[in-house]
Amino acid sequence: MSGTPPGRSVPPEEIQAAESKHEVDVLAVHRHAFREAGDPHEGAEHGPWWFWAAAVAALVFGGFYMGRFSGAFTGEAAVHAQPGIEARGPGAPGAGAERVDGAAVFSGRCAACHQGTGLGLPGVFPPLAGSEYVNGDPARLARLVLRGLTGPVTVAGAQFNGAMPAWADQLNDAEVAAVLTYVRSHFGNGTGAIGADLVARERGTTANRIAPWTTPELPH
């Protein structure tokens, strides 16, 4: 029948009654057809307001947390509090900075080669325990860490011939100071702390240095 919605059936007796009067009350027939509920339609529905509010709050919190604690996704090891060492930007000492844990820097940067024991690997990586470089001139040690070392070197009576990477672009002054202070007070070493101001000075002094040091070039 024209005008009847798809899927709706008009009872035959209704049609017969109308036809017996030689007329069809279209409105009456349609009113009867629409008494039935429509077929369900599948589609997107709006979720409850509290769900969307919680989702937005989670996104905001997640963005804040990642921005605050991810370290800008540089892959650097996390650092934790340790009294006396302040974290500063590379080559630019500043006030109000976070404090750095030298043990954490060592674990993330140095232990892979020098080992967690500080004994290194014989013939491959020199030890930090009993090292004349670790326990010697602090300025020489800072320069070595900042700009790297290559070629033969004798440490604790043993010869090594390898390369140490430069850390000037990876660690700031306070991180270098913290890790050097850590190695100079662990692994049987008992020499004094190194301050971030000394590291900053050596960073500036060696700013034009591109190639790693060789042993003869380092001050003794």
Domains of the chain: 79-217 (1.10.760.10)
Q: Is the pLDDT of residue 83 over 70?
A: no
161 φ, ψ to 5°? -140, 95
The residue written with tokens 């090891």 in the block is 77
Q: Is the pLDDT of residue 56 over 80?
A: no
pLDDT tens across 155-202, in order? 999 999 989 999 999 999 999 999 999 999 999 999 989 999 999 999
Which residues have CB under 8 Å from 158's CB, separation 6+?
Answer: 122, 123, 126, 127
pTM tops 0.85: no
pLDDT higher at 170 or 19: 170
Percent of the chain whose pLDDT exceeds 90: 50
pLDDT reported for residue 9: 59
CA 61 to CA 210: how far, in whole Å?
Answer: 42
